[in-house]
Amino acid sequence: MKVTWSEALRTSIIKSLALAGMVASALSVGSAHAQTDYPNKPIRIVVPYAPGGGGDAVVRYMSDKLAERLKQPIIVDNRPGASGFIGAQIVATAAPDGYTLLMAFDGTIAVAPHLLKAPFNTLTDFTPITKLNDAAIVMAVNKQVPAKNFQELVVYAKSLPNPMEFGSTGQGSSTHLAGELLAMRTGMKLQHIPYKGGGQAVTDVAAGQIPMILTVVPTVMPHITQGRLVPIAVSGSHRAQSLPDVQTFTEAGVKDFDVSSWYGLLAPAKTPKPIVDKLQREIAEVMKIPEVREKYMKASFEPVANPPEEFAKQLKADYERWGQVVKDAGVKIE
């Protein structure tokens, strides 16, 4: 039988489409199997800070128990430098297969990109997995300041001839921006004094060199416990478990100040949802272990392990809010 050129072309196209369908089906099955088989090799969590710091500890508190549940080793890979951007970039450009994750700090991922040129896009280059913990931001003063609560502090600050000084963990840090936001919300006149880390700032406030500090609760708790500093208010939607008698800024009447410092786990963009959901579920179970919870609570970190969608919503809100504060307050890195 004579076959025309058009019939031959039609047959060739049909065969090609059939073959393509078979290949796509095979790839789909392979991908699905890889996801259900996850993990089948060690998982690396990149910590963009030096060993021994808060971010490093947050991962190590739960990594051993998570490894037990996943039946694979967890490798903690410290990659400090460039305000955390080096480690973040490693993860942003990694394969989206669930084997390279980022231990992210809000200051690095939600604040710093508004002040420095970041080699990644916070909202498009990562897939949020879960927020590991919250650390409330506390306002504390030295004993010479005649105020025992936030209302008294506002009155005192407004009576001063010059802006009231406050220390933070550094120019452009989340604690610095919290002070700028507080000034906007209350009308208080505040003067930021930047430090390279919270340790020296706390020491200077306790010694009376400056009157006030805004920092995360873990940094200041020893000085509060020993009576060298007076806690005035804490951020967050509820009182800090380590400071149950200290009112929140919301309770003190400050509107739209539900801020906190946090550490969370991110994966590269386009990481499959089954992998993300499995990681979140397993981490949530780890956070229920009394031994793990005790480690976090002892360090004044509140364990969270919320769903990916909830964490993604907060990450976006924090990123946009701090960007607006940077713009409105004219904050710049010198």
Which CATH number do you get for residue 283?
A: 3.40.190.150
Beta-sheet pairing, 137-142 with 229-234: antiparallel
pLDDT at 23: 47
- Say whether both 93 and 124 belong to one domain: yes
Query: Are 220 and 194 part of one and the same domain?
Result: yes
Average pLDDT over residues 56-65: 92
- Residue 128, judged by CB atoms within 10 A of its CB (0-12, 13-18, 19+), counts as buried
Does 313 map to a domain?
A: yes
Query: Do 77 and 150 fall within a single domain?
Result: no
Cross-strand bridge partners of residue 128: 266
pLDDT at residue 3, as a whole number: 46
Q: What angle do CA 284, 218, 61 make, to 5 degrees?
A: 35
Average pLDDT over residues 209-226: 91
- Look at residue 141 and tell me if it is in a domain: yes
Residue 158 within any structural domain of the chain: yes
Residues 185, 143, single domain; the answer is yes
Which of residues 1 and 118 earns the better pLDDT score? 118
Q: Check residue 34 and give its pLDDT.
A: 52
Greater model confidence, 181 or 30: 181
Instruction: Kindly state whether residue 36 falls inside one of the protein's structural domains.
Output: no
Pairing of strands 43-47, 100-105: parallel
Of the pLDDT bands very low, low, confident and very high (cuts 50, 70, 90), residue 15 is: low
Q: What is the pLDDT of residue 50?
A: 86
Angle between helices 273-286 and 5-36 in degrees, nearest 10? 0
pLDDT of residue 237: 82
Lowest mean pLDDT among 85-94, 226-235, 255-264: 255-264
Beta-bridge partner residues of 77: 46
pLDDT at 238 over 70: yes
Q: pLDDT, tens digit, for every residue of 81-130?
A: 998 999 999 999 999 999 999 999 999 999 999 999 999 999 999 999 99
pLDDT score of 17 more than 60: no
Q: What is the pLDDT of residue 205?
A: 95
Task: Examine the pLDDT at 306 and tell me if it is beyond 70.
Answer: yes
Q: How far is CA 235 from CA 114, 144, 238, 239, 303, in A?
A: 22, 23, 8, 8, 16
Q: Which residue has the higher pLDDT, 59 or 299?
A: 59
Confidence band (pLDDT; 50, 70, 90) for 334?
A: low
User: Measured on CA atoms in the order 46, 111, 222, 243, is the torsion positive or negative?
Assistant: negative
d(CA 211, CA 190): 11
Which residues touch 169 (CB under 8 Å, ≥6 apart)?
A: 175, 176, 195, 197, 198, 201, 215, 219
Angle at 88 between CA 332 and CA 37, to 5 degrees: 155
Same domain, 121 and 192: no
pLDDT of residue 13: 47
Return the pLDDT at 255.
85
Q: What per-residue confidence (pLDDT) applies to 1?
A: 47
**Structural domain harbouring 205:** 137-234
As for how many domains the chain has, the answer is 2
Q: Is the pTM of this model over 0.85?
A: no
Residues 77 and 123 in one domain: yes
CA 77 – CA 73 distance, rounded (Å): 12
Rounded average pLDDT over 147-158: 93
Q: What is the CATH number of the domain that holds 220?
A: 3.40.190.10
Asked whether residue 3 is assigned to any structural domain, the reply reads no
Query: Within this chain, do residues 124 and 161 fall inside the same structural domain, yes or no?
Result: no
Domain shared by 265 and 219, yes or no: no
Domain match, 280 and 323 both: yes
Residues 129 and 265 placed together within one structural domain of the fold: yes
Query: What average pLDDT is seen over the chain?
Result: 89
Give me the percent of the chain exceeding a pLDDT of 90.
70
CA distances from 193 to 61, 120, 212, 215, 250 (A): 32, 29, 10, 12, 25
Residues 145, 221, single domain; the answer is yes
How many CB atoms neighbour CB 204 within 10 A?
17
- Kindly state whether residues 147 and 296 are assigned to the same domain: no
How far apart are the C-alpha atoms of 59 and 65, rounded to whole Å?
Answer: 11
The pLDDT, as a whole number, for residue 12 is 53
SS3 181: helix
Residue among 56, 50, 47, 76 at smallest CA distance from 299: 56
Does residue 281 lie within any of the structural domains?
yes
- 334 occurs within a structural domain: no
Residue 242 lies in a domain: no
